[in-house]
Structure formats: C-alpha cells, structure tokens
Amino acid sequence: MASIPLVPSAVKETPTTGQSHGATPDYDVIIIGAGFSGISALYRLRKEGLKAHIFESGSDFGGVWYWNRYPGARVDSETPFYQLNIPEVYNTWSFSQRFPDHVELRRYMAHIDKTLNIRPDVSFDTRVNGCTWDKESATWTVKTETGATARASFLILATGLLHKTHLPIWKGVDTYKGVIRHSGEWDENTDMTGKKVAIIGAGATAVQITQEVAKTASQLTVLMRRPSYCLPMGQRTWTKDEQDSIRAWYPALFDAGRKSYVGFPTVRHDVRAQDVSPEEREKYFEGLWNTGGFHFLLRNYNNVVLDPEANKIVYDFWRKKVCERLTDPEKAALMAPERMGYYMATKRQPLEHDYYDVLNQPNVDIVDLNIYPIDSFTETGLRLLGNEDAARDYDYVICATGFDSFTGSLCNMGLTSADGVDIKDVWKDGVRTYLGMMFHGFPNAFMVYSPQAPTALSNGPTIIECQCDLAISTITSMRASGTRTIEPTQAAEDEWKNNMNAMVQHTLYPFTNSWWNTSNIPGKVAENQNYILGIETYERECRERFGAWRGFDVGMQTGRGVEVGS
C-alpha cells in the first residue's frame, strides 16, 4: 500500500520536542508510549514519510523495561526473538544471554536510539491526561500534565499490557514504619541484605524477586494464594561468535516467527497425550523439559488445554520434576500440591532458574493466604488471621500484586470518544474492540499490544510488529485513497467479541481466573481478553477485514467536508 506525499505543516516546530512557538503543532500521528510498541510504530511511520511524535511518561525509552527494575527482573521470551525486526539495529547489537535482564534491555533500547536517532521525536517525562476528538477538523488533540498540547489525524495507543500497578487496600498501611515496595515502582537503591522481608504474591514477578532476595535477606516470607507452575528457564550465556554466526539467519527466523502461533517458530505436536504409551510420553516430556523456555508448553500434546485428563497427565509430570528439587515436604505440598489448583497452561507459567532451590532454604517460609489471610499492617509488620497469635515483624514488604492489565493505562489518560465519553465509562461493563485494535466511537485511534488480540499468548515484539504493520498500512492506504476517518461499527465489535468467546468455549481457559481475564482487579469485569488462534491466523483475518473496510464506517474527504459510509 502506498502513501501520499506528506504536506508540510504551516506550524513551526521545536525539533527536540515537537512543541510549537505560540500554536498547537500538527502531526500525522501521535503515539503514546515509548516502549517496544511506540518505537516500532515510530520507525514504520518514518519509513512512510509520515510525521509522528511520541509522548512518554517515563524519562527514557523502554516502557515496561524502564519501570521494572526490581531484583531479578528478566524477560521470559528468548533471544533472538525478543527484539525488534529492524536490520540496522540487530546487525549492530548482540545480547549476552538467552533471556536478557532489565539492565541489558535498557542498554538495547539505548542502542536503538543511538542507531535510529529517535529521541528528537519523543517528549519524555510527559504524561498524557487528555485525548479528545474534534469532528469538524477530524483530528485528535492530546493534552499532557506539563501543559503541552498537540494535534494529529491519527492516534496510536502504545501504553502497554502490564503498566498500571495494582496495590490492594489493606488496613493499617499508614501505620507501618517499614518499607513497602511494589515491583512496578522499584527504587534500585533498595538493599534488603540481612533484613526481614515479606513478599506478597507468587506470580511471575514474585518468582524472580524471590530467587534474588532469598539469597541475601535474613528471612523471607512468601505469602501466596496459589502457586505458579514454574518451568525451567534453561538460561545460558551467548558468546559473540555465536551471536555473529546466527545473525545471518535472523530474517528467516523473524519471518518464521511472524508466521507461527505465538511468535516462536516451533513445530506443534499434533498428537493426543492419551494416544501414546506412558513410556513414550515420559521420554517426550523429558526432552521438552530439558530444552528450557516455553517449549514444554508450546510443543506439548495437542489436547493439553482441551482435555482435563491430558492436562492432569502433564501436571503430574511437572509436579514430579518440581518435587525432585523442592525436598521440604511441607513446602512441596504448598507449591506443588498433589491436586492441582488450576489447569496447566491456563494462566501465566513463569520461567525459573533456582526458584525451588531457594525455597528449600531455612531462611524462607511460605504462608498460604487462603488459610492465613492478611488482616492488617502493624507498625512493624503484618497481622495474619487464622490461628496465629502474634503479628509478624518485617523490615520490608514487597507487593508483587500485579497490574491492571490490558486496559489499566488506557483508562487513566483522559481518552474520550467523539461524543465526549471517557473510555473507562465506555468499557465499564466489559471491553469492546474490533480486531483488538480499534473501538467504536473513537475514529482514527489504534491500539497496539492490546486486549482481544493474541497479546498475552504471544512473544511481545512479534505481535507488536504485526499490529503496528496493520495500523500503519491502514493509515497509508487511507491517505492514498482520500479516506479521512475510519471507525469500527458496534455490530463489528459484537461479532469480534462473540467470536473470541466462542473460541475458548470448549477449552480449559474459562476455568482459571488471572490477569489474563482481568479478574485480578476488584470490580473489573472478568472476561476473555485473548484471541487464541495464533498470530498468523489473527494477522490474516485482520488484513482481510482492513483491506475490504469490513466492519468499518469510513469518512471520505469531499468538497463539503467528510462523508461517512460503511
């Protein structure tokens, strides 16, 4: 799809910020967020000759990797796939590990900036607090807490999947004289050496923190409602020679990842778990387990998330492997119970390096919050209910209590519809999107890394680049054809949501609550947010619908203004 030549704005701009001298600057596209999504969108828009600017609340690039600096923070998508498919960047960069940590990922972001010189098109430390649509001019006006405003024909919301932190409300928090830290708002100067520490949560973030803090704290208490079914990471260090030798294969690997189910080009195992002997299953499981990463899930038998019996077979193998390492019987009963608390692969399964080994340590204890729930904070720690007689003293309380996933950022930036209704009110009874990328009432607004897409079941950069390509090819096609506005219909949203829910109806996903279905936030509607047919199918379906304007009202530029039709 071709784009029409860019018509220069009459507004004089300040090159480093995009701000004007005495007037509101005009852009073709405003992007909100400077993580993987925002960078990917900006790179593609530049290549099309479109004028774009990013507003970012943080002080630098990185998105989730700018904010997440807690001990052990590390990606669980492996290299080379956890990076952007930008040749000028990957040809001059080498990751040092199979699963890079947060420090290396920020260095990678700095390398992107140095290579592409994208900083002049970004306003940092600039939190957006208003996005309004003007029907007459068919433009979005973005306002920020700094007082800056900007206009654009299109909006790309790259605000992230897991950004807005969730902190439960507990009694007595204000009386606590120790230190409380949420994993998403971490002070890197925090030193817990020799301290008494409590960590609330046992999800992916808590697993990473526990692995590190348990090594130096005098005492660590893990307070959890249910355990994670962790898989072996299989971490390893890459040599420069290895990186250089595999780089020639990157184009083929990225292409294969894009055409795959989740962004990793693995071959799916089209065999039912019950159709082979126990001996053959055991041998196959061992091979997957030793490979590390998510291969134990991605290449397992084809009915694991469809059939409770097959799921239990996989769980029993997982439990056996964990109990070989977690030798304390009381701790093993909590972290790898004989009766599984939820189905395998129906919520996030973290990758671990030595999690079960550190849980064995005598300075680590585990509390089941279902039996001993938190009653309140005290001046010196926590008081638990149950049969505990005294409060527990802690110097630090770490809240690995998660995020307001999928929609948390979008619903806290003053984004309003063409009729002036805030998106949080539009979605108060449940999320509504079309293709997981646009929504009725918000013309020319695209989402990236979004609800109702393959997001939580995908390698981040792969689905991000897929959605950025879809958004930008739509924008360039509109400009080439004289189409001024695009907006999905309510009927199209209904169809998309009904189809997504029909996909999971005969799977085991609906039986497990987690941030995957937004049930982790009190008062938030628990509902399916994941398109489960994979990236390749999703992209093909989206391209067919965008290409034919199916499910959209489009506005054409005429001498009388904008005429809208389906």
Q: What angle do CA 410, 105, 402 make, to 5 degrees?
A: 40
Q: With CA atoms as reference, report the closest residue to 161 among 447, 450, 515.
A: 450
Kindly tell me the sign of the dihedral angle through the C-alpha atoms of 81, 542, 42, 127.
Answer: negative
Dist CA 465 CA 473 (whole Å): 12
Which tens digits make up the pLDDT trace of 352-369? Answer: 999 999 999 999 999 999
Which tens digits make up the pLDDT trace of 47-56? Answer: 999 999 999 9
Over residues 470-489, the mean pLDDT reads 96
CA distances from 200 to 221, 251, 400 (A): 8, 42, 6
Please, what is the average pLDDT of the chain? 93
For the chain, the first-to-last Cα distance in angstroms comes to 20
Dist CA 234 CA 397 (whole Å): 30
| Three-state secondary structure call for residue 79 | coil
Report pLDDT for 389.
Answer: 81
Report pLDDT for 3.
Answer: 27
Which tens digits make up the pLDDT trace of 109-146? Answer: 999 999 999 999 999 999 999 999 999 999 999 999 99
Over residues 173-184, the mean pLDDT reads 97
pLDDT at 474 over 60: yes
Domain with CATH 3.50.50.60 in the chain: 26-72+107-164+405-565
Report pLDDT for 4.
Answer: 22
Which tens digits make up the pLDDT trace of 394-434? Answer: 999 999 999 999 999 999 999 999 999 999 999 999 999 99
pLDDT band at 556 (very low <50, low <70, confident <90, very high): confident
Written as six digits, the tokens of 274 are 């019950």
pLDDT band at 563 (very low <50, low <70, confident <90, very high): low
Q: How would you class 451 by CB atoms within 10 Å of its CB: exposed for 0-12, middle for 13-18, buried for 19 or more?
A: buried
Report pLDDT for 14.
Answer: 33
Dist CA 150 CA 130 (whole Å): 11
Over residues 529-554, the mean pLDDT reads 97
pLDDT at 20 over 60: no
Count the helices and strands in the chain (H runs, E runs).
16, 20
Q: How would you class 481 by CB atoms within 10 Å of its CB: exposed for 0-12, middle for 13-18, buried for 19 or more?
A: middle
Residues of the chain above pLDDT 70, percent: 94
Dist CA 121 CA 557 (whole Å): 28
Which tens digits make up the pLDDT trace of 318-343? Answer: 999 999 999 999 999 999 999 999 99
Report pLDDT for 557.
Answer: 61
Does the N-terminal peptide bond of residue 80 adopt cis geometry, omega within 30 degrees of 0?
Answer: yes
pLDDT band at 11 (very low <50, low <70, confident <90, very high): very low
Q: With CA atoms as reference, report the closest residue to 497 among 403, 405, 427, 412.
A: 427
Over residues 535-549, the mean pLDDT reads 97
Report pLDDT for 559.
Answer: 43
pLDDT band at 566 (very low <50, low <70, confident <90, very high): low
Which tens digits make up the pLDDT trace of 152-178? Answer: 999 999 999 998 999 999 999 999 999
Report pLDDT for 12.
Answer: 28
Dist CA 371 CA 333 (whole Å): 14
Report pLDDT for 530.
Answer: 97
Report pLDDT for 24.
Answer: 59
Report pLDDT for 385.
Answer: 95
* pTM of the predicted model as reported, rounded to 2 decimal places: 0.93
26-72+107-164+405-565 — its CATH code?
Answer: 3.50.50.60
pLDDT at 16 over 50: no
